[in-house]
Structure 1
Amino acid sequence: MSMDEPWTVLEKLVKEVNRQTEQVQGMHEKARDMSASATSEDGMVTVTVGARGDVRKIDFDPRVYRKLSPSELAASLIEQIGAATRTVSGEVKEVMQPLAPADLPFDDLLGEGVDFPSFLAQAMTPRPKGHGERP
């Protein structure tokens, strides 16, 4: 084994780590920018949410206040927020799926009952300084 061989191997490993890091960052950015909309069956309420489940836009048909009671409007808003969140969660999952190990189902990474937007929100939250560092 030549003296240069370990450095060649190390350079290849560093390049691969950099490539994978760029891939993860690209997918993360794509996922972060995703959104989905849901419209009520009567067309009175449309809600758009981001990948983290954040409400980005709410549109009401001009007739909404004449057609729906306050409780009906509230129920419709909650329903459309949920529908849009489920949609964007599925879309984000599709984008992020390639990062999961081939032999591990993606849902197993999150756990049962965990939605992807809340998982992504945790991953995107900056950690306090010193968190996870060894003394």
Structure 2
Amino acid sequence: MNDEFRLTIEGLAKEYNRQAGELRAAYGRLSELTGTGESADRLVRVTVGPRGQVQEIELDPRVYRKLAPSQLSREIMQQIGAATEQVAERTKELMAPFMPEGLPLEEVLGEGASIDAFLPRPVELPAEDGDVRG
């Protein structure tokens, strides 16, 4: 392989590995995301995790005097929805730099998706003397 071609390939491999590392780091931050929805009267507060799973429901004791059970249930569900939407928006913000323009994030990272499914292992080039290096 001539030197100019080899330098070009090494540069491309290095750039790919850098971008793949950044993508993996961003994907790792996704697992730390939370969102919180709070009612206007601050009596109901719900926190969800990165996939919308409810982590905490906080109810001010006054809520039992103010809302009927069906109203309370509806309010909790609304706050779960608001919190989940927060997480979805933060996910889009984190992943936007890595997405092709016009491709909806939902089509790429659906439920249970892992970024590893989209990325091959880091590129390792053979060294001049036959050893493999990365």
* Both structures adopt the same fold (TM-score exceeding 0.5): yes
Structure number having the greater helix percentage = 1
Residues 97 and 106 of structure 1 are in contact (CA less than 8 Å); yes or no, is this contact kept in structure 2?
A: no
Q: Secondary structure at the match of 1:57?
A: strand
Q: Secondary structure at the match of 2:52?
A: coil
Residues 35 and 48 of structure 2 are in contact (CA less than 8 Å); yes or no, is this contact kept in structure 1?
A: yes
In structure 2, runs of 5+ residues without a counterpart are 118-134
Cα deviation, residue 106, structure 1: 4.6
Distance 1:9 1:86 in 2: 43
Q: Deviation per CA, 1:93-115, whole angstroms, max 9, x where unpaired? A: 111111112xx2253x535xxxx
2:124 alignment counterpart? none
| Bigger Rg, structure 1 or 2 | 2
Q: Secondary structure at the match of 2:36?
A: strand
Q: Secondary structure at the match of 1:46?
A: strand
Percent identity over the alignment is 38
Gap change, CA 1:18 and 1:126, over 3 Å in 2: closer
In structure 1, runs of 5+ residues without a counterpart are 128-135
Aligned residue-pair number:
117
Distance 1:3 1:85 in 2: 53
Please provide the CA RMSD for this pair.
2.5
Alignment of structure 1 residues 1-135 onto 2, 5 Å: 3-101=2-100, 104-107=101-104, 109-110=105-106, 119=110, 121-124=111-114
Name whichever of 8-17 and 45-54 sits farther off.
8-17
Residues 39 and 46 of structure 1 are in contact (CA less than 8 Å); yes or no, is this contact kept in structure 2?
A: yes
* TM-score, normalised via structure 1 length: 0.73
